[in-house]
Amino acid sequence: MYSWLTEHKIPLGSWIKSFVDFLNQHAQWLFDWISLVLGTLIEGLTDLLLAVPPLLLIAIFAGIAYGLHRSFRLAAFTAIAFLLVINLGYWQPTIETLALVIWATLVCVVVGVPIGIAAAHRPWLYAGIRPALDLMQTIPTFVYLIPTLVLFGLGTVPGLISTVIFAIPAPIRLTHLGITSVPAQLREAGQAFGATKRQLLYKVELPHAMPTIMAGITQCIMLSLSMVVIAALVGADGLGKPVVRALNSVNIGMGFEAGAAIVLLAIVLDRVCKRPERRKGAR
Amino acid sequence: MPAIQFNKVDIVFGDRRGKAPALIDQGKTRDEILAATGAVLGAAGIDLTVERGEICVLMGLSGSGKSTVLRAVNGLNEVARGSVLVSHDGAAVDVTHCDDATLREIRMRTVSMVFQQFGLLPWRSVRENVGFGLEIRGMPAAERRRIVDEKLAMVGLSQWADKHAQELSGGMQQRVGLARAFATDAEILLMDEPFSALDPLIRDKMQDELLDLQRRIQKTILFVSHDLDEAMKIGSKIAIMEAGCIVQCGTAEDILLRPATPYVAEFVKHTNPLNVLRGHSVMTPACSVRRSDGTVLLDRDGLVRMRVDAGDRPVGVEVNGREGSLGRVNGNAGAFDTPCDIIVAPVELKLATTIALKRKTDHPIIFVDADGKLAGLCGDDEIYGSLLRRSA
Ligand SMILES: Nc1ncnc2c1ncn2[C@@H]1O[C@H](COP(=O)(O)OP(=O)(O)OP(=O)(O)O)[C@@H](O)[C@H]1O
Ligand SMILES: [Mg+2]
């Protein structure tokens, strides 16, 4: 039995390989094009952010933090965190990572939220994509790093793609959760007043699901950030690079400094993106 | 054309409901159908007509199918068989078979709904909640605001317009729900136990407010309640439901005096008759009063005699040979002209008011109909009799 099993191995590996090769040969233009567009977008944003004098940019970030939360403490914390990053000497990689995270999150939201909505309205669709979502979150990242590398080449784009694959289940799941947990009575209130499907979505379902969707987006940002080191392995710029370099040269100091910059960025992003304390009276 | 008309409506829930109608025709009960097919019988053979301006109350125990019937009117529940005609734009539209656009039109303009748990959108302000139906209709903001503020004033919540719905008490939230339903100016209002979530004092107040509003705006209301006292207080017609069927439909007095089944009788036992019974079900009717030489004898010894004119309308009274005066009562407030020797009251006077009058004076009470014609007499005997008959 055992030998029979080993002799008749299912050629899973070679199937996948031929599939990727097939894509590589026949759809190369498509991947090149995606690579070009995404690469330009990320670089564009990075260049734009780096073109602004760092202190001015920090002031802008602090301003955004204040604008969203009306909290001087958070604004001051944001400014201090970024000043610390400059002090550590990681300003440029931090901005590169920030650009990567912003684009990854944007892609996740633009693709994930509509998928979540569609899945909430069609139980069969959700049943269909659930295994895929589980797979995307459990399969070791390195495994899909290799095909993305083959298809998109070395650089920031395969990093972005891997990040999106890893992070997108969060907004999909939480959007699905938010929409399906709309109380039947609210949906009926909408229907009873003659709302169309679209009005029901925009006036009842989405507003009700918004806090949950926002939680999904915050989670997505954190997941993206946790991918920076792995993205660096395929050549993405950012704070992952010094970590990888420190690992290769057993440089404890550099590893910790770059790690500290990642943690600071993570805390700032988490605090800024957290839903502002809900206005009084709202649920 | 009635505002709402149900014709032999059956409603069945569940995936395997295909076979249910055949079983209903065989006279199977809800439990038997559930056991045979797994489908839940929501309502069976509903025939009900609600006229314009009427308040019709669906009454029954929990699970008897009241909400199911109500929700068929605006198509929230699918109807398995039969038709539900709603008067919309001067035509009777069958909501069970009309196209989506018509159904939507009906929901936007003709039928609106008040929910038991209020169904307000918690992220919206009171004003935005009230304007919800108009917003769905696509009405411009300025016009919407004018109407919304008018409705908010109607339910007395103008100062609360910018608060969130959650900041209001239950009674206030339900007033927001009422204002939202009134805002679309729909002819027909569906109310699914709108006051059940409120405590008894507020509920009583809201019932009075609803009756008061109804006098002013004259809508057609289909109201669900599991409380017979509430049903009798506000309903001009009451339909009592049991296990998906209407077992009796009639006025509050009909039901109180002539319950059709033991189930209805059981409900009736626990109600207070004082506000339901009216003069005509208590009095000794005009045809059996004692008369002599064109006067009506009001006491045993023939000392109090009431004169009537050719149209049998009371015109004067003679007490022990002395000329007395008539005290006329208007409406149910129970105020009358004093001093007087007999009281002349409209025949729709509630038993509660009649008793209150009796307590204040010891005069005989004469009931007259809308034309002022003698309808009957009501003395202590009649009052006690009516109370005893019920508990017997
Ligand atoms: N959407 C549904 N799916 C399946 N069964 C339903 C559905 N809605 C109602 N039913 C069933 O129909 C029957 C009547 O329910 P309905 O809600 O009309 O009762 P009700 O008289 O309004 O009771 P309550 O006073 O508790 O609101 C119940 O047995 C219920 O289980
Ligand atoms: Mg109900």
Q: Give the best residue of B110, B123, B180 to mutate against chain A (max A CB count within 10 A).
A: B123
Q: Which residue, among A231, A272, A242, has the nearest Cα to A85 in the 3D structure?
A: A242
Residues with CB under 5 A from ligand 2 (ion): B 67
Pocket-testing residue among B11, B33, B37, B64, ligand 1, by greatest number of atoms within 8 A of Cβ: B64
pLDDT bucket at A8, cuts 50 / 70 / 90 = confident
pLDDT bucket at B238, cuts 50 / 70 / 90 = very high
The residue whose two tokens read 């040269």 is: A249
Q: How large is the average pLDDT for residues B52-58?
A: 93
Q: What is the sign, positive or negative, of the torsion defined by CA atoms of B286, B292, B296, B301? A: negative
Specify the residue with its C-alpha closest to ligand 1, atom 5: B13
Q: Give the best residue of B121, B130, B178, B192 to mutate against chain A (max A CB count within 10 A).
A: B121
Tell me if B77 CB under 6 Å of ligand 1.
no
Tell me if B225 CB under 6 Å of ligand 1.
no
Q: Give the best residue of A181, A187, A193, A204 to mutate against chain B (max B CB count within 10 A).
A: A193
- pLDDT tens, A41-98? 999 999 999 999 999 999 999 999 999 888 899 999 999 999 999 999 999 999 999 9
Whole-model pTM: value is 0.83
Judge contact between A24 and A151, C-beta under 8 A: yes
pLDDT bucket at B349, cuts 50 / 70 / 90 = confident
Whether B18 shows a pLDDT value over 80: the answer reads: no
- Please answer yes or no on whether A189 and B167 come within 8 Å at the CB atom: no
Residues 209-268, chain A, touching B (beta carbon < 8 A):
210
pLDDT at B205 (0 to 100): 85
Whether B122 shows a pLDDT value over 80: the answer reads: yes
Q: How many residues does chain A have?
A: 283
User: Distance of CA B301 to CAs B305, B308, B384, Å?
Assistant: 10, 19, 21
Judge contact between B84 and B4, C-beta under 8 A: yes
For ligand 1, the distance from its centroid to the CA atom of residue B263, given in whole angstroms, is: 19
Indicate the residue of A194, A204, A283 with minimum beta-carbon distance to B108: A194
Chain A's closest residue to B74, CA to CA, is A192
Whether B297 shows a pLDDT value over 80: the answer reads: yes
Whether A279 shows a pLDDT value over 60: the answer reads: no
Render A51-82 in DSSP notation, one character per residue. Answer: HS-HHHHHHHHHHHHHHHH--HHHHHHHHHHH
What is the residue-averaged pLDDT of chain B?
Answer: 87
| Beta-bridge mates of residue B353 | none
Q: Please tell me the number of the ligand nearest to residue B239's CA.
A: 1
pLDDT bucket at A281, cuts 50 / 70 / 90 = very low
Tell me if B66 CB under 6 Å of ligand 1.
yes
B236: Cβ contacts below 8 Å, ≥ 6 apart: B54, B55, B56, B251
pLDDT bucket at A155, cuts 50 / 70 / 90 = confident
Whether B67 shows a pLDDT value over 90: the answer reads: yes
pLDDT at A26 (0 to 100): 85
- Please answer yes or no on whether B136 and A188 come within 8 Å at the CB atom: no
Q: How large is the average pLDDT for residues A36-42?
A: 90
Whether B134 shows a pLDDT value over 90: the answer reads: yes
Specify the residue with its C-alpha closest to ligand 1, atom 11: B42
Residue B176 Cα, gap to closest chain A Cα (Å): 13
- In the numeric block, which tokens belong to residue B191? 């109310």
Indicate the residue of B104, B120, B167 with minimum beta-carbon distance to A194: B104
- Please answer yes or no on whether B132 and A189 come within 8 Å at the CB atom: yes
- Please answer yes or no on whether B132 and A199 come within 8 Å at the CB atom: no
What does the alpha-carbon distance between residue A161 and residue A83 come to, in Å, rounded to a whole number? 30
Judge contact between B280 and B272, C-beta under 8 A: no
If DSSP codes are grouped into helix, strand and coil, which group holds residue B191?
strand
pLDDT bucket at B334, cuts 50 / 70 / 90 = low
Q: Which of A172-181, B161-170, B204-213 has the highest mean pLDDT?
A: A172-181
Indicate the residue of B109, B166, B190 with minimum beta-carbon distance to A281: B166
Higher pLDDT, A238 or B362: A238
Q: How large is the average pLDDT for residues B317-327?
A: 83
Whether B392 shows a pLDDT value over 70: the answer reads: no
pLDDT bucket at B84, cuts 50 / 70 / 90 = very high
Q: Which of A25-29, B46-50, B192-196 has the highest mean pLDDT?
A: B46-50
Tell me if B320 CB under 6 Å of ligand 1.
no
pLDDT bucket at A282, cuts 50 / 70 / 90 = very low
Tell me if B58 CB under 6 Å of ligand 1.
no
Indicate the residue of A193, A207, A279 with minimum beta-carbon distance to B136: A193
Residue B296 Cα, gap to closest chain A Cα (Å): 58
Contact list, A187 vs chain B (CB under 8 Å):
none
Tell me if B41 CB under 6 Å of ligand 1.
no
User: Distance of CA A273 to CAs A64, A147, B59, B87, B246, Å?
Assistant: 11, 32, 51, 52, 56
Higher pLDDT, A114 or A274: A114
CA of B60, closest atom in ligand 1: 21
User: Which ranges in A122-183 belong to alpha helices (H)?
Assistant: 123-138, 141-152, 156-167, 169-180
Tell me if B12 CB under 6 Å of ligand 1.
no
Q: Which of A138-147, A151-160, B64-73 has the highest mean pLDDT?
A: B64-73
CA of B14, closest atom in ligand 1: 4
Render B356-387 in DSSP notation, one character per residue. Answer: HHHHH----EEEE-TTS-EEEEE-HHHHHHHH
Judge contact between B33 and B23, C-beta under 8 A: yes
The region, left, alpha or beta by phi > 0 then psi within -120 to 50, assigned to residue B166 is alpha
For ligand 1, the distance from its centroid to the CA atom of residue B115, given in whole angstroms, is: 15
Pairing of strands B55-60, B220-225: parallel
